[in-house]
Amino acid sequence: MKTLWSVDRLGRWSAFAVVALSCVALSSGAANGRESDDESEDGGKVPLTVSKAECGPEDHPETALQGQVPADLRAAGFKGFNCNLKLVSQSRGDGANWQSAEFKDRMGHTCGYHGTAFSTANRTHLGSPVVDLTNADRATPTGYLTSISMLDPWESLKVNAQRQLLAADNAHNGAGGPEVDIYDLSGDCRNPQLLASVAVGKADGSTGVPGTVIGHEGSWAPDGLTYYGGSPGQRIYYAVDTANPSEPKLITIYPNPIPNALTHGLSISDDGNRAYFATLSFPQATDVTNPNFVPTNGVLIADVSEVQERKPNPAIKLISTVIWRDGSIMQHTIPVRIDGKSYLIAVDEAGSGGITFAGWQASCAAGLPPFPMARIIDISDERNPRIVARLGLETHDPANCSKVLPDVVGLAIFTYGSHYCSVDNKDHTTTLACGYFNSGIRVFDIRHPRHAKEIAYFNPAGTTKPSPGSNHVTFGQWIAGGPDWCNAQVHLDAERGTLWTTCQDNGVLMLKFEHGVWPFEDSRTPPGEQN
């Protein structure tokens, strides 16, 4: 969730938001008294940080802590870091914002799509760029999508490979309107064809059940017959029938069952019967040590089989909830299988005390990580999910706060934290790649989830001129020469040994792995299996 709302509205949300003061798990919304894998099966505490990547001789590795861009480098103009990844092509354009998506068509084209800010000043092109990535060394824009939702899809821009569709909801500035836009990618993916731009939430029920929805987040069911949205301001998730992609219709609305908790991103199981919803807190600094706050930040596992089966008036049923204290503004989830066992990747967007400098200070004083991270949850018993790994960097360790906080004086919202992650293959996962804002793109070996380790990173050089399509700029957080915001989905390609993503100021970045660190022998990246 991004915070472009007014101070009054933000204050009202903060009054509802809480941070947990102990790591607990809730089942069907009620406490069952069991800790959320604070102790792992091997008897040790779940580690906070992962081991650092070992870089090659030609690399430009980090000069201080893992994930850190020290204050002196920011002041001098950050020149970038790289470790086992090198830049092979770039398409900056007007910059980017929160999300990216990929599709490979039957003619062999690889196409990228990404959002830009809902802004018009100094823009060269409005809307979501279409970028031809077929040649890794030549990222080339081929067009721009300008239907209402594509003017700023925020975090909702997603491809369904099975049905060859691209969708987004109207998420302008994080809270747009009821429209859902769907494009056909089955021909030349460089030229998507608009199938629908429909206001699905209407009180008269003319596009499905009566209801009002506001765009922000979104995700497909794997079969492409349902597109789900998350609306934080409304505290709801919603399902849209896309069986006929030219006529999307609202199926149902599901309020977050946790009192006063907000909603965000989500993912759906391969069979379409389970949803993994993000439930979130939005804390202020004073909430970190307040014993009267109740935990709300984590994951809801819900039965959505009645939606999948298209039963009349479908009920969505809560199965279990896992909540944690050391993060907030839970962003999104990815269900995966590692060595045949079911896990869930869960990624926060804010640290223990929220998104302000005062919140980071309060977290540090309480011995909690100030910045958000990805974590891995064992869901082999879906009624008893357990956190088994946290993918923090050295910047997340409260012991390092005195070294890290001076870097971000005068900044707010997103600095050294996570946002969006992807895997190589949801059915046989070996690799997790994430955007960690000022810490850049981080790649992790998660073949042994309890012992995940970093294998590569790329943190692009700071830009000296603003990118008008970047929310880093529109939020007033961009500083000339300072580190970028790298936060969108990362797209791995095992056959080419590459990844691409967007960073907000630098736009599209195509990177190639070096020194044999990836792919692993059993890494595969089939279309549609990354997120």
Per cent of the chain over pLDDT 90 is 89
Euclidean distance between CA atoms 184 and 187, whole angstroms: 8
Q: What is the average per-residue pLDDT within 31-42?
A: 39
The answer to whether residue 89 sits within a structural domain is: yes
Q: Which residue did the predictor score with more confidence, 35 or 492?
A: 492
Among candidates 174, 164, 208, 220, which has minimal Cα distance to 3? 174
In this predicted structure, the answer to whether residue 21 has a pLDDT above a threshold of 60 is no
Q: What is the average per-residue pLDDT within 265-287?
A: 96
In this predicted structure, the answer to whether residue 207 has a pLDDT above a threshold of 60 is yes
Asked if residue 222 has a cis previous peptide bond (ω within 30° of 0), the answer is: no
CB-based contacts of 13, cutoff 8 Å, min separation 6? 5, 262, 282
pLDDT of residue 488: 98
Euclidean distance between CA atoms 379 and 377, whole angstroms: 6
Among candidates 347, 346, 345, 368, which has minimal Cα distance to 19? 368
Per cent of the chain over pLDDT 70 is 92
The answer to whether residue 446 sits within a structural domain is: yes
The answer to whether residue 287 sits within a structural domain is: no
In this predicted structure, the answer to whether residue 465 has a pLDDT above a threshold of 70 is yes
pLDDT of residue 24: 34
pLDDT 10s digits, 398-432: 999 999 999 999 999 999 999 999 999 999 999 99
Q: What is the DSSP letter of 41?
A: T
Alpha helices for 2-124 (secondary structure H): 7-16, 71-76
Euclidean distance between CA atoms 492 and 211, whole angstroms: 38
The answer to whether residue 459 sits within a structural domain is: yes
pLDDT 10s digits, 236-250: 999 999 999 999 999
Q: What is the average per-residue pLDDT within 72-79?
A: 98
Q: Say if residues 282 and 17 touch (Cβ distance below 8 Å).
A: yes
pLDDT 10s digits, 163-195: 999 999 999 999 999 999 999 999 999 999 999
Euclidean distance between CA atoms 529 and 96, whole angstroms: 23
CB-based contacts of 490, cutoff 8 Å, min separation 6? 420, 421, 422, 433, 434, 435, 441, 443, 499, 500, 501
Euclidean distance between CA atoms 276 and 327, whole angstroms: 18
The answer to whether residue 19 sits within a structural domain is: no
Q: What mean pLDDT, rounded, does the chain reach?
A: 92
In this predicted structure, the answer to whether residue 13 has a pLDDT above a threshold of 80 is no
Among candidates 116, 117, 114, which has minimal Cα distance to 4? 117
pLDDT 10s digits, 338-372: 999 999 999 999 999 999 999 999 999 999 999 99
pLDDT of residue 531: 84
Q: Which residue did the predictor score with more confidence, 435 or 15?
A: 435
Q: Say if residues 389 and 376 touch (Cβ distance below 8 Å).
A: yes
Pairing of strands 165-169, 179-184: antiparallel
Question: Number of structural domains, the chain?
Answer: 1
Among candidates 74, 115, 113, 112, which has minimal Cα distance to 95? 115
Residue range(s) defining the domain that contains residue 485: 51-146+420-531
pLDDT of residue 293: 81
Q: Which residue did the predictor score with more confidence, 38 or 460?
A: 460
pLDDT of residue 384: 98
The answer to whether residue 25 sits within a structural domain is: no
Q: What is the average per-residue pLDDT within 11-40?
A: 34
pLDDT 10s digits, 449-461: 999 999 999 999 9
The answer to whether residue 414 sits within a structural domain is: no
Q: What is the average per-residue pLDDT within 317-344?
A: 97
pLDDT of residue 292: 86
CB-based contacts of 106, cutoff 8 Å, min separation 6? 186
pLDDT 10s digits, 209-238: 999 999 999 999 999 999 999 999 999 999
- Type of residue at 399: A
- Indicate the SS3 state at residue 332: strand
- Indicate the SS3 state at residue 267: strand
User: What is the strand order of the sheet 317-323 is part of?
Assistant: 30-35, 24-27, 317-323, 298-303, 274-280, 262-268
CB-based contacts of 342, cutoff 8 Å, min separation 6? 335, 336, 378, 379, 380, 382
Q: What is the average per-residue pLDDT within 137-155?
A: 98
Confidence of residue 291 (pLDDT cuts 50, 70, 90): confident
Rg (CA), the chain: 21
Q: Which residue did the predictor score with more confidence, 40 or 518?
A: 518
- Indicate the SS3 state at residue 224: coil
pLDDT of residue 44: 57
Q: Which residue did the predictor score with more confidence, 40 or 298?
A: 298
Q: If residue 365 lies in a helix (H) or strand (E), which one and from where to where?
A: helix 357-365
pLDDT of residue 295: 82
In this predicted structure, the answer to whether residue 159 has a pLDDT above a threshold of 70 is yes
The answer to whether residue 492 sits within a structural domain is: yes
